[in-house]
Structure 1
Amino acid sequence: MVIMLRGVSYRALTIVFGLYVFCALFMLTPCTGSDLNQASKSWRDSKISTTKQERSLEHQEQYLKRAVNDKTTKRKATAARPMKQMIAKKQMKHVEADDQAEHPVGDDDVDNDPVDETQRPLPTKFDLATFPPASQVVLENTIGAETLKQYISQKSHQAARDVAVGYILRQANTACRNNTVYSVVIKPKSKVAPSGDMHDYTSLARYFYRNPDTPNGLPYVRHDGKPNPEMDSVWDYRLLRKMFRDCYFMGQAYFWTGDERYAEKTVHRVKQWFLDPETRMNPNVKYGSWIFGESLGRAQGVLDMFKVYGMFEALKSIKDSKAMQAEPNLIPDLQTWFRAYMVWLDGSEEAHHEMKAHNNHGTYFTVQYLSILEFLGSNAEAKALAEEAKTVRVGPQIRKDGAQPYETARPISYYYSTFNLQGLMLLAMQAASHDVDLWHYSGQADAEAILKKMPKKEPKFEIGGTIEDAIRYVADYEVLKMARIASLVYGRDRWQKSIEDLTAKINEGGSGNGKREDED
């Protein structure tokens, strides 16, 4: 598979290679259990299953939808509001549990969702007989007809393909069966943003706690590295990430099976979150990472939107589906929403601060911004941003030995080093579609210019490391999936021994401690 994929285009990476890379980056989390500094062997420590209780809410949801949309009687709309809150509270018990870090981790591999036997079962494995011709054409145009034939027919590729596609289908089937309402308007009224508008996205600052020394708990105080459980009381963050994740897997499932149900549910999710008047989100995140007592959110809240790239990938995958053909205004309307969002980003002080960040926040700002530029068709701007990422994102953040000093300074340094590296890898994949190579870029050639741009108050360090150096640095702590991705990009011969060593270490039950010798 390595030989097959080396040197191919970005589109091939996001489809064949993307089976491994995007799935891994969506599911990857460097932490497990309560100690975020401990390296994980399994990478997925939270589970989700759409439960029987959630199924029992379907008739209530249907009533709610009718009541909310029925403008003819005030009585019905009034009656729907308390039911709306009741449904929301019950639904949130079954929404995917986030990990304790910046982004949610994946579902359990086992699909425990109860199946409605009256419906045709969803696909569970790759079937060449139903492999859509349009998808085959895409692959032929990116990796070549002969390579595609080998990928489909050769036994050496079949096992890896079947595992990858099977995993995608398990996640997509859970998402497709899930009838939870995903919307910013179902949060408790007590958690609405200072604007008073239910449609304003709201999330709470992760590391800020009530002040124990004041009667009203204000001002909140920061405890870096210790997530405040109170943030779970506002549901927008979890639902937004869940929506992006569900769309991504359903889009991939449609690509490999052509089953229209995945496309239909993806369209439903996108419309429900961004476009339907009753449930849509306003085009900003100005109350993201909000601290109680403040009038606005913080720059860090802009990070909440970065996984939008998964939704955009899904829309590419289902573009020829009947569901999309039935919604000719979906893409234009969604582009209108994101143009308004970009206006907010470009004029927001919080977003500007996030753009200037030298750590994972800056990395994911660029991932998000570049994704939106591509979706809007602004390819020249996207290429310029990808080129700029060499000296703004990769060069200043990776030390010559592969360490990421802006992340190792944090209390949970192992997590943040890995989290930022995931962002740099995503950015490298995006840049490749614009013929910009971030995978092999080293800041050494531009060291003088890069050092001048770095904050004067922060200590300088010896730059010059590549993304591969950073992967190898954290791979000492069992980042097996990253090592496998590295072998696809840089060649198996360079990474085979590391993969074997990490596999053996995991099989022996070893665990990294997430702490380098040069960290305090």
Structure 2
Amino acid sequence: MVYIRGSSKRTITVVLGLCVVFVLFTLTPYSDKALSNLPDHGFRHSTEDQALEQERRRKQKEQWENEHNMPENPYQNEQVEKPEELNKQLFENPPGHDNGNTNAPSNDEPRQQKQGKPSPGQDEDSPNDGLPTEFLEFRVPSSSQQIMETKIGASRLKEFLAEKQNIEAREVAVAYILRQANVAYRNNTVYSVVNKPETKIPPSGDIHDYTSLARYFWKNPKTPDNLPYIRLDGKPNPDMDSVWDYRLLRKMFRDCYYMGQGYFWTGDERYAEKIVYRVKEWFLDEKTKMNPHLKYGSLIFGNPLGRAQGVLDMFKVYGMFDGLKAIQGSKAMQREPELIKNLQSWFTDYLVWMDASIQANQEKNAHNNHGTYFTVQYLSILEFLGRDADAKVMAEDAKAVRVGPQIREDGAQPHETIRPISFFYSTFNLQGLILLAIQADSHGISLWNHRGPIEDKTIRINSSKSVPIKVGGGSIEDAVRYLSLYAVRDPSEWPYPDSGTRNERDVLKMARIAALVYGKDKWEELIENLEAKVDENQPGEGEGGEGATTTTADDGDPNGFICELGVLSKGTLWHCYK
């Protein structure tokens, strides 16, 4: 018998090991030869490779802009096709490649429920299904009344409702809620990421990956392949609507919120059943669930990953959480004892992705509305997961990170007023800051009166231009008053460039919240002026969903009453759904 000792033995062992690895790799279907035959959707790149590719494309774009001295609107100095005519379908797969997806629709609209187990409401005869349509006090469950009295205070609630306008507002608000809830209940569209067409599969090749397109990016008219795409801020590319994930996700959140409210005010179990169905359909059912990430949110054609801005797509998740909170005592929830646990597991995985994601961390570090709504979203999820200590820390940090640096001493929001549609974005960001303040209230932290230090900063306009600004010194109250004062004036008096439309109704809602928080006397006259402006500019305009009856000028603000109850409860009832 021959014994092999020392280094000779180790050498032979290593050689044998390498031989085994070589043989296995040669035979495996993942050899280089096999990989070269696979369709390349970008899913073979590591996260590091994808990040490097994004950085390369960013530098390529900067170099191109500098070399060509690109004007802010590249279409203004030459006769080219209009941007709308330059679109083409994105993410087209190689001929014959179906990504293994046999369920994706080939038509141009999201599919309806197919044969099999129907969703709640699918087989209802809508005109005769007996769903409630108006506020009836005797139908409000005693449990709902007790919840309001507990979270607001019985005497404060009674005082609030005693005002004639609030009694009328409650009737209008609940009737409006029920219209929205009934539309949501009767809708049998499949709400799922697998509902997108085969031509819109993301670069991963996985139909369960959420996908949306960058709002303000268009084809490059000066290059043969139209790459890299160029940004036209304030000009949405209609190609966004060719991928349905975004609008279905937002529709699902909205439906769950309104059906939750419908259950809260009537106790009708059908609303709760449909919420449970929708939540399972989007997040939990194996055939239709979304993977827990937003890697391909706000995707630009030609890029392997989405953009940081795509993380914003999920921020309205708080509406779904509010809907689930409203039905927590329902029979539908009792029949699904594992639902919340399973949904919490999904969002735990989602937060793991957010914490490690380049896109999510870029969004977290944004100083404008994107940073604001990142915190709204993250804080909502922490609350849903029961991580109250972490939520409290984030709410406290929002003083210095979100409120302080974004509001100037006069109430303007400099990170938003540089945008081409500056009034809209000033309103949008302030709505987010108010949401944060309501969330922080539930953790015993007040953001309402916080003022940050006045500082000199620079804001990046584009890849080659930044401008100096002053930030800080203002509060949420200052920002609401600033917008309110300009909302009642002629739009031409707004001191910043603005090519967009304005919604005085949104400003009015924020002013009414301010009256609750800061004192009615300080806001009464301004609110009256805003109400007159809304009646003048937006008669009959409402926020009705598909198939819903629109509000009239006499309806006032149907969502406002519900929002004010949420403010009075310090965010423990629900939040102001935008």
Same fold (TM over 0.5): yes
- Whether 2:152 is the aligned partner of 1:131: answer no
Residues 281-337 of structure 1 show CA distances to partners (whole Å, capped at 9, x for unaligned) of: 000001000001100001000000000000111111101101111111100000000
Residue in 1 that maps onto 2:215: 206
Mapping for residues 212-227 of structure 1, pairs under 5 Å:
212-227=221-236
Report how far residue 510 of structure 1 moved.
9.6
The CA distance in 1 between the partners of 2:162 and 2:391, in whole Å, is 37
- Whether 2:330 is the aligned partner of 1:321: answer yes
The answer on whether the counterparts of 2:451 and 2:475 sit within 8 Å (CA) in structure 1 is yes
Residues 353-395 of structure 1 show CA distances to partners (whole Å, capped at 9, x for unaligned) of: 1000000000000000000000011101100100000010000
Amino acid at match of 1:264: E
The CA distance in 1 between the partners of 2:325 and 2:171, in whole Å, is 22
* Residue in structure 2 matching 1:492, options 520, 540, 548: 520
- Whether 2:349 is the aligned partner of 1:340: answer yes
Residue in 1 that maps onto 2:391: 382
CA gap 1:462/1:306 in 2 versus in 1, 3 angstroms: closer
The CA distance in 2 between the partners of 1:161 and 1:509, in whole Å, is 24
Residue in 1 that maps onto 2:302: 293
The CA distance in 1 between the partners of 2:439 and 2:399, in whole Å, is 13
Q: Secondary structure at the match of 1:288?
A: strand
Report how far residue 249 of structure 1 moved.
0.7
* Residue in structure 2 matching 1:361, options 366, 370, 395: 370
Residue in 1 that maps onto 2:317: 308
Report how far residue 153 of structure 1 moved.
7.2
CA gap 1:268/1:496 in 2 versus in 1, 3 angstroms: same
Residue in 2 that maps onto 1:330: 339
Residues 189-208 of structure 1 show CA distances to partners (whole Å, capped at 9, x for unaligned) of: 11111000000000000011
Amino acid at match of 1:354: E
Q: Secondary structure at the match of 2:468?
A: coil
Amino acid at match of 1:504: A
Residues 135-162 of structure 1 show CA distances to partners (whole Å, capped at 9, x for unaligned) of: 1111121233344456667755321111
* Residue in structure 1 matching 2:198, options 174, 189, 194: 189
Residue in 1 that maps onto 2:289: 280
Residue in 1 that maps onto 2:508: 480
Residue in 2 that maps onto 1:81: 103
The answer on whether the counterparts of 2:409 and 2:472 sit within 8 Å (CA) in structure 1 is yes
Amino acid at match of 1:169: L
Between the two structures, name the one with larger relative contact order (CA 8 Å, sep ≥ 6).
Answer: 1
Residue in 2 that maps onto 1:246: 255
Q: Which runs of 5+ in 2 are unaligned?
A: 1-99, 114-121, 488-503, 540-578
- Give the TM-score of the pair, scaled to structure 1: 0.74
The CA distance in 2 between the partners of 1:485 and 1:144, in whole Å, is 18
* Residue in structure 2 matching 1:171, options 180, 185, 209: 180
The CA distance in 1 between the partners of 2:205 and 2:510, in whole Å, is 43
Report how far residue 120 of structure 1 moved.
3.5
The CA distance in 2 between the partners of 1:159 and 1:114, in whole Å, is 34
Residue in 1 that maps onto 2:437: 428
The CA distance in 2 between the partners of 1:79 and 1:193, in whole Å, is 13
* Residue in structure 2 matching 1:142, options 141, 151, 173: 151
Residue in 1 that maps onto 2:408: 399
Q: Secondary structure at the match of 2:409?
A: coil
Residues 400-427 of structure 1 show CA distances to partners (whole Å, capped at 9, x for unaligned) of: 0000000001111111111100100100
The CA distance in 2 between the partners of 1:409 and 1:360, in whole Å, is 12
The CA distance in 1 between the partners of 2:229 and 2:102, in whole Å, is 35
Residue in 2 that maps onto 1:157: 166
CA gap 1:430/1:296 in 2 versus in 1, 3 angstroms: same
The answer on whether the counterparts of 1:396 and 1:454 sit within 8 Å (CA) in structure 2 is no
Residue in 2 that maps onto 1:45: none
Report how far residue 119 of structure 1 moved.
5.0
The CA distance in 1 between the partners of 2:392 and 2:204, in whole Å, is 37
Residues 466-488 of structure 1 show CA distances to partners (whole Å, capped at 9, x for unaligned) of: 11111111112132222222212
The CA distance in 2 between the partners of 1:238 and 1:128, in whole Å, is 34
CA gap 1:114/1:125 in 2 versus in 1, 3 angstroms: farther
Report how far residue 507 of structure 1 moved.
3.9
Kindly name which structure, 1 or 2, has the bigger radius of gyration based on alpha carbons. Answer: 2
Residue in 1 that maps onto 2:279: 270
Aligned residue pairs, count: 409
CA gap 1:462/1:355 in 2 versus in 1, 3 angstroms: closer
The CA distance in 2 between the partners of 1:360 and 1:176, in whole Å, is 32
